[in-house]
Every structure is written in C-alpha cells, then in structure tokens.
Amino acid sequence: MRSHPAEFELVAPGSLQAVVALLAGEPGAWLPIAGGTDVMVQYAAGTLGARRLVSIWNLPELRGIEVAAEELRIGAGCTYSEIRGHEVVEREFSLLAAVAGWTGSIANQNRGTLGGNIVNASPAADSLPALLVYEAELILVSARGERRVPYVGFHTGYKKMGLAPDELIRTVCLPRRYAGYVAYSRKVGARNAQAISKVCVAALGKVTGGVVEDVRIAAGSVAPVPLRLVETERMVRGRRVDSELLALGRKTAAGEIRPIDDIRSNAGYRAAVMGNLVGEFLGRLG
C-alpha cells in the first residue's frame, strides 16, 4: 500500500547545526534523508517506518572533497557522481571510483550519497568493501560534538551500526598510502547497472620480490555485514605468488564468508564465486 504524503512530515532546516539540534531535541524521532535513493523507495512501497524526516540533501557542511596531505576527506553528502569524477579519487582510490561507477544508474549516482550508503547498512552495498580495504575512518557529528571512529567494526550486525540516534556521518576519511598497491574490484550481478550484487569484492595487494607483502580483501553480499576477509589475508600474507597461493586463497575465502540463499543468489554459488574472485585477484599480483 502506497504511503500518503499527508501522513509524513519533512523539514529542511538548511544547516548542519540546525539539523543536529533537531536530532538532539528528540533522538531517534527524525530520519535523515539525503538523496532519497533508499528512503523514497521504502516510502513508495509503504514500508517506511519513520513519519518525520529531516532533509540533509545539499547541506553545505556535508559536501565537498578535501584533499589533505595525509588523507582524503569526503563529505558524507557527496554523491557517487561527485566521487567517481574526482581526480584524486580516480588516481589514488580507484576501487572507490570503480564501485561508485557501478552503483545503481547515472540518475541514482547523481542522488545517492556515500554517507547514505553507509547508514543504509546493506550488506550488499557496493561502496563499503572499498571503505574496508582503504581502512576508512568516519567523523560523526552531533550537537554534543564530533568523534572519529574506524569504519571497520562500524557495522555490528545486519543493519546495525555504531551510530547514536542523534548523530550523522559528517566525513569519510581515506588515508593516502596506497600508491604502490595493485587494486582489484569486481561485481558479480545480473547486469552492470541497477542490479544488486550477488557478490562484490574490493582488494588491494602489494608484492615485493614475488612475495605478498600486504593484502586487504573485502566483500559484499557474503555476510550480514560488509566483510573484511582477515583470515584469507593472514593466510596469503608473506607467501610467494604462485598457483599454490591461488588455491589456498580460493579455499580460505570460500570458507571464511557466511553467505545465504536469497532472491539474488544462493550460498553455494556465492562461496564458489568468492573463491574465484580471490583467485583472480591473487593471480593479478603475480
């Protein structure tokens, strides 16, 4: 049953300070809405639980990408289009540029925001594995002030996260230290545009003298949260890149994830694809 607009309240206070003051006044009462690519879908389907919404679209404090010496600071309200078209993102964070480009469609990329993708907390979110491998940090803001937390561990369970009811994500910070890494990303889905992934992977690897010096692998749609494959990373780190390593990586990755059967795929297929993608990634390191 479609929602009726008269049953909903939507306000647009226009500044970050006014928004966090509103959230602080009645924590949990207001649902922030940015580009609406998730919220409006639920609204149209009549499944949106919230009745009071506060617009954070176009809030100047959440916009812009700041290039600092040590890190890139992406405003949580930046759209995928802004992210994928940014020169430093393209050059130094190619995984993020790639996933921004295969999220939804151009129209969705013009409205969907990175912060929105994080708080929507879908385990299938395409951008989140990239944030895991880059070891992103989040700056959270509320009327109480700001705090900075690592993104890894932010999602604590299916649709659960370490964000207080009066907080917003303000900035996503990416350390600029991946210049020498091989970057690998791949989405497996029914089609490139619009389709939600069956499995998506983002990975970084650094090889010195034929040996894996550092490696980071993360995947979406394979667990209740976007997952960093720490066991697989541990197994392949320090080893020579050869066919034995590829087999080991495949097997460990397929066993490390916790996939389910759902409308898009099934657990067995996801595990097989996960193994194959890790094998493909490790092969690129050689």
Partner 1 sequence: MSAGRGPVEIKLTLNGAACSVDAYPMERLLDVLRHQLGLTGAKEGCGEGECGSCSVLMDGKLVNSCLVPVLQAEGADIVTIEGLAPGPELHALQEAFLECGGAQCGICTPGMIVAACYLLSQKPVPTLQDIREGLAGNLCRCTGYIQIIEAVAQAARRGVAR
- In the shown chain, the binding pattern of residues 113 to 142 toward partner 1, with x for contact by CB under 8 A and - for none, equals ------------------------------
CB-nearer residue toward partner 1: 103 or 171: 103
Q: Which long-range contacts (CB under 8 A, 24 or more apart) does 191-198 make?
A: 192/102, 193/102, 193/104, 193/105, 194/104, 194/105, 194/108, 196/122, 196/124, 196/221, 196/264, 197/124, 197/126, 197/221, 197/264, 198/264, 198/265, 198/269, 198/270, 198/273
81 binds partner 1 (CB under 8 A): yes
CB-nearer residue toward partner 1: 44 or 260: 44
CB-nearer residue toward partner 1: 55 or 276: 55
105 binds partner 1 (CB under 8 A): yes
State the nearest-atom distance from the C-beta of 81 to partner 1, in Å. Answer: 7
What are the structure tokens assigned to 183, written together? 């970057």
State the nearest-atom distance from the C-beta of 43 to partner 1, in Å. Answer: 7
H or E element: which one contains 206? strand 199-208
State the nearest-atom distance from the C-beta of 12 to partner 1, in Å. Answer: 5
H or E element: which one contains 199? strand 199-208
State the nearest-atom distance from the C-beta of 246 to partner 1, in Å. Answer: 30
- Contact yes or no for 139/88 (Cβ under 8 A): no
Stretch that binds partner 1, among 10-18, 67-75, 221-229, 250-258 (CB under 8 A): 10-18
- Residue 8 CA to chain centroid, in angstroms? 29
CB-nearer residue toward partner 1: 110 or 276: 110
Binding residues for partner 1, rule CB under 8 A, total 35
Residues within window 40-69 making contact with partner 1, judged by CB under 8 A: 40-41, 43-45, 53, 55, 57-58
Q: Residue 46 contacts by C-beta under 8 Å, 6 or more apart in sequence?
A: 1, 2, 3
Query: Alpha helices of the chain — where are they, by DSSP H?
Result: 16-25, 39-45, 80-84, 87-92, 94-102, 106-109, 114-120, 128-133, 230-236, 243-256, 267-285
**Would strands 65-67 and 52-55 be described as parallel, antiparallel, or unpaired?**
unpaired
276 binds partner 1 (CB under 8 A): no
- In the shown chain, the binding pattern of residues 168 to 207 toward partner 1, with x for contact by CB under 8 A and - for none, equals -----------------------xxxx-------------
- What residue ranges bind partner 1 (CB under 8 A)? 3, 5-6, 8-14, 33, 35-37, 40-41, 43-45, 53, 55, 57-58, 81, 104-108, 110-111, 191-194
